[in-house]
Structure 1
């Protein structure tokens, strides 16, 4: 009888755990075969969850269901930390909707897989090899495998500390502008999370335009966005080596140097192009013009807050903004774009070719050929996706190329700046920009890897022959 019971009892237990076991085994196989594909599915799943939540009546201010294309676009924009909107964030969504958008921004900024790995670490106090591989993939293979657990702790701790410090600066500033304590604290928290995660969402109907002369608000937004755009691997190097620059990794040096160059050059060119434009900053004092130029340069890197109407910019400034948005921020950061290290590697390759050097070098290190192939792939695939999206949007909207190109690059680079075209598009155009935001956040290389059915390794090489270039 005992034998019969022992053989009978495990059966329903296995049956009841069968679906969960099957799901776990599927995730294990997917993580082992392609962490990038798992990242793709995870981001898709989270976006669908927030789409469902935002479409429900209690998420909107009027208590009505939100149309699918608007809910999907807002959820994608929040999870992909973009900031583009098709409805007014302040007017359309309820308090519950605002909280959901803020949670989506935080989840998207940390990264779905990073957050999942942190939860695993908190429960079990350790990460297995599979968990480290997943987390490492989520952070663009940053750090050695054994460092991933520590890096995850740095990710969460750094995010919490920076956002808390930003809140401490922003909340009193909003109180000084006449808001009560509750409103000021809520707006401080919202802007702190939105700026550090380079999201660009704002709970005010007129955005940050009323604060265009308030440095107590503008400076924290710029600092938070710039710090968030550097990337967690760079922040980890800062925490470890402080100001000992010679001990920094090549990635950290390239990210910091190129980021500062883009901010300074971008501010100088933006200010020079708009200096006499009376529709933007032409009527301001010189000091105010310089603040506006620096703010605009930082915002176009991926943050997305704006103090002037994008439609009032000169064509030259729009083109400059396109270039800055396309470059984006640092790898494994909350910023988008093709990443500043991609720009740095391609520039160094051009310099090496012009000088006749066989190797591409920087700061006493040689950059492998494989890294340059990845950089070329990222640039070409990003440009191709933007070109396809622009072609479709031109046919759908009938708008001018400069507006379509600006909003397309803003969506792909997860910036959030807009000429107003995004809110004017029909549902078909909204879906195009939604896909572009998703591709931009997941990453072109991750997307290509996730969609690849198999990896090929050959044991032979064909003879070399050089085609004529140029």
Structure 2
């Protein structure tokens, strides 16, 4: 029995400090720190605390790079509060583990195997090898892309604002866009720039690059943009992203062209630009150039679907992820055609990958429906705005039909929980909560069929 005690202790430590639990706990602690800082009077524009619930909601939205707000970031928070929010966005977008490894590299400390395994979980990699190099790439890419975006926005804002104000606006929105956060300092998101191609296209580019995932960005750099040299993951992520954006653009343009409250309010030449941005922003961004609450019901349904899918793995966005959606679609295609295997571009997808994709999609759908049903009881509103709000929180998107500030305390807490779930990932959270790694049965049970369909 004594020989078994060290083994049991090791197993308990393994479960306690498993990668999934480290990620889940890390984000929770960061939200807690953000809540404390944002609830301080110095964070408020009025000098009075915004309240714990509002601070918790804002901190969760920032850490989970969502963008749903119950308070006006520009009007209700002081410069200190805005800096705290931006810091939470940057840390939440990159991930706590990435920053801890970066600090370790700066201090010359060796990165432990446990940290590499956590990074592997965070970026959805298959092995812990090369994680330190990936972190270095992530930091370089982040600095270059955010710096470039900030410079372009600064030159654009310089004509409308004093230099210091233009610089702050440029840095804030470049970081918020690349992290797919959606926080803004213009009170009304990017609606004043709906016809401005410089602002719209710059922000859209930051959103898309941040959403495709650092693994894909690294792969693109390695292969020098050669399509056939890219990994299957990169090709699936890029192809799915392109299809979703193109399809969303065409649908929004057709459905909202004559809507006098959305695209119809813009000059005809500016409508394609706004439609393109509206197709990009549900990919977990949260910025808007036309009022989301005025979209037609069918367009809202389309946006809900795009928010549910979300960005790509290893990026700064939420949702079930583009490759998960693509895997589900490919599985359906194989089943309809009677194929035994699921294959794409000359590669076969393993069965464990197919199961994981369906589990993620099912857990996400069930969680969204459960929270939606609960909010229908607590908020007393119609289904569409509640489902939209819930899906936006899960996808860490930040778009809203306008009900966020009027949520009850229970509603705010539920949406905050949904944002947290969407950021850490539904499967990661489920594994972290139920991680016991029970051994599989030694007996292989006999087959028996049930009727399906």
**TM-score range normalised by the length of the shorter chain:** over 0.9
Counterparts of 1:267 and 1:202, CA distance in 2:
23
Which residue of the other structure, out of 245, 264, 285, is the alignment partner of 1:303? 285
Deviation string 1:127-172 (CA, Å, 9 cap, x unpaired) is 22222112111212x2532211110101111111100000111001
The SS at the match of 1:361 is strand
Counterparts of 1:456 and 1:261, CA distance in 2:
40
Q: Does 1:390 align with 2:372?
A: yes
Number of the residue aligned with 1:152 = 135
**TM-score for the superposition, normalised by structure 1:** 0.92
Number of the residue aligned with 1:425 = 407
Deviation string 1:95-136 (CA, Å, 9 cap, x unpaired) is 000000000000000011222222223323542222211211
Number of the residue aligned with 2:395 = 413
Deviation string 1:245-301 (CA, Å, 9 cap, x unpaired) is 212111100000000000000010011110111111114333211111100000111
Counterparts of 1:91 and 1:214, CA distance in 2:
24
Number of the residue aligned with 1:21 = none
**1:186-205 alignment, distance < 5 Å:** 186-205=168-187
Number of the residue aligned with 2:354 = 372
Counterparts of 1:129 and 1:65, CA distance in 2:
42
Number of the residue aligned with 1:469 = 452
Counterparts of 1:285 and 1:90, CA distance in 2:
28
Counterparts of 1:30 and 1:166, CA distance in 2:
42
Distance of aligned partners of 1:283 and 1:70 in 2 relative to their CA distance in 1, 3 Å threshold: closer
Deviation string 1:320-374 (CA, Å, 9 cap, x unpaired) is 0100111101001101111000110011111111111111001111111111111
Which residue of the other structure, out of 83, 86, 96, is the alignment partner of 1:102? 86
Counterparts of 1:54 and 1:373, CA distance in 2:
41
Counterparts of 1:465 and 1:345, CA distance in 2:
27
Judge conservation of contact 1:117–1:134 (CA < 8 Å) in 2. no
The root-mean-square deviation of aligned C-alpha atoms, in Å, is 1.7
The SS at the match of 2:209 is helix
* Larger Cα-atom Rg: 1
**1:74-223 alignment, distance < 5 Å:** 74-124=58-108, 126-140=110-124, 142=125, 144-176=127-159, 178-223=160-205
Judge conservation of contact 2:15–2:435 (CA < 8 Å) in 1. no
Judge conservation of contact 2:97–2:115 (CA < 8 Å) in 1. no
The SS at the match of 2:445 is coil
- In structure 1, runs of 5+ residues without a counterpart are 1-24
The SS at the match of 2:348 is strand
Judge conservation of contact 2:342–2:349 (CA < 8 Å) in 1. yes
Counterparts of 1:202 and 1:281, CA distance in 2:
21
| Deviation (angstroms), 1:453 | 4.0
Judge conservation of contact 1:31–1:134 (CA < 8 Å) in 2. no
**TM-score for the superposition, normalised by structure 2:** 0.95
Q: Does 1:271 align with 2:257?
A: no
Judge conservation of contact 1:233–1:332 (CA < 8 Å) in 2. yes
Deviation string 1:2-60 (CA, Å, 9 cap, x unpaired) is xxxxxxxxxxxxxxxxxxxxxxx99x935885110111111111100010000000000
Number of the residue aligned with 2:5 = none
Counterparts of 2:222 and 2:429, CA distance in 1:
32
Deviation string 1:152-206 (CA, Å, 9 cap, x unpaired) is 1011111111000001110011112x20111111110001000000000001212
Counterparts of 1:388 and 1:277, CA distance in 2:
33
- In structure 2, runs of 5+ residues without a counterpart are 1-8
Number of the residue aligned with 1:58 = 42
Judge conservation of contact 1:162–1:224 (CA < 8 Å) in 2. yes
Which residue of the other structure, out of 372, 380, 385, is the alignment partner of 1:403? 385
Counterparts of 1:436 and 1:261, CA distance in 2:
27
| Deviation (angstroms), 1:397 | 1.3
| Deviation (angstroms), 1:456 | 2.0
Number of the residue aligned with 2:206 = 224
Counterparts of 2:185 and 2:404, CA distance in 1:
18
Judge conservation of contact 1:303–1:415 (CA < 8 Å) in 2. yes
Number of the residue aligned with 2:305 = 323
Counterparts of 2:380 and 2:129, CA distance in 1:
53
Deviation string 1:292-316 (CA, Å, 9 cap, x unpaired) is 1100000111111011222211110
Number of the residue aligned with 2:3 = none
The SS at the match of 2:47 is coil
Number of the residue aligned with 1:5 = none
The more displaced of 110-119 and 100-109 is: 110-119
Which residue of the other structure, out of 341, 348, 356, is the alignment partner of 2:323? 341
The SS at the match of 1:145 is coil
The SS at the match of 1:124 is coil
